[in-house]
Structure 1
């Protein structure tokens, strides 16, 4: 399901994020399932309650590891520097992704209907990582992180999550939405890195946010798959 947009005010973005929607190109979409070569998996949308976030040893260690890098946040404008970094990143990944930043964010166009910012991480003058996020009235949504593969030991994708979270904290925002994880497919579990205790998971059946736990995700996944099986059986009979 998707919602076509001409312009989206911040409070509208907050509302749709709160209903389990997310940005894709210049639209908002939601989904309950992710088909992969290995099977059909359930998706579970996440958000962090910013006021409840606390850091443990792993997060503090990552801040120390990267403390020599400079960080800046600015309004997003597509530049050759960003595209060049994204191209290096794209060549290094082992999963399907948009071939360019323009394609991912703007669908090849020039107009952006979202209030979008970018977090830059630089080693001296060199841009080594960047994270794009959209701003609502009371929340931010992390859209994409990309980085120079030569700096892989610095865990810059996770570092950018922490930087976005700190930005939300400084702005006194309520929520940070990092996207979804996938039941039974650990590739997306990194989205719990910042603070699992402050993370909530969206229940698509009740439209409520619940404190994250794997038990809650397991229950939701079982219910979604059972409902899908019932629908498939009903279609067969009809």
Structure 2
């Protein structure tokens, strides 16, 4: 499984990246209307954004979310009933544009078994490994999205969107610490994004496993304008530097919580 990566650390913190991949297996490509369209909703440069900020275990996939979304309920149940969203194997973009050529559709079960299941087996294994060494473990799920997607939300998204499924996936002390360290950035707790399946599935604070999602508006670290033309945005060192400083501070607070420090 060359598409699945785990970089281990011994601290009680895991960073997960389910949507940063851009690989589409060759056998799937003919069914997509275009590769660029299939990659439009990628969490662009998300792992680079977090690289080197904290001593933690990193788990990520190289497979595009348009092949399979590793942050969706494998049963197909919607995370946001009544609101627009995409499924386990998306058939349209966030904007509602069809991803597949007419008459084609993904084999959802085959992709679940090939990609979703191994990804979560790896996450579960790391949680078990670290939980055996620490009384608390935090799973921090890393995401980013265009700041304006009218089909998904009104207006402009805050820069930092923290999700804990309305306080059920972690101790309030953790979410309070994260929000406090967001500083002057426009941030919100449990707004449009309350945490995906990863956060909701693994977050069991009563058992010592705390999960939290950070959804970042991409404008906080890159120029989103190429996406309007269907092109991949470039990494922006200047814009990302300030956000990386803020994220390092946030992650330090998360690690302090995981280690039981005040």
Query: TM-score, normalising length from structure 2?
Result: 0.28
**Structure holding more strand per residue:** 1
* Higher helix content, 1 or 2: 1
Question: TM-score, normalising length from structure 1?
Answer: 0.29
Q: Which has the higher contact order (CA 8 A, sep 6+)?
A: 1
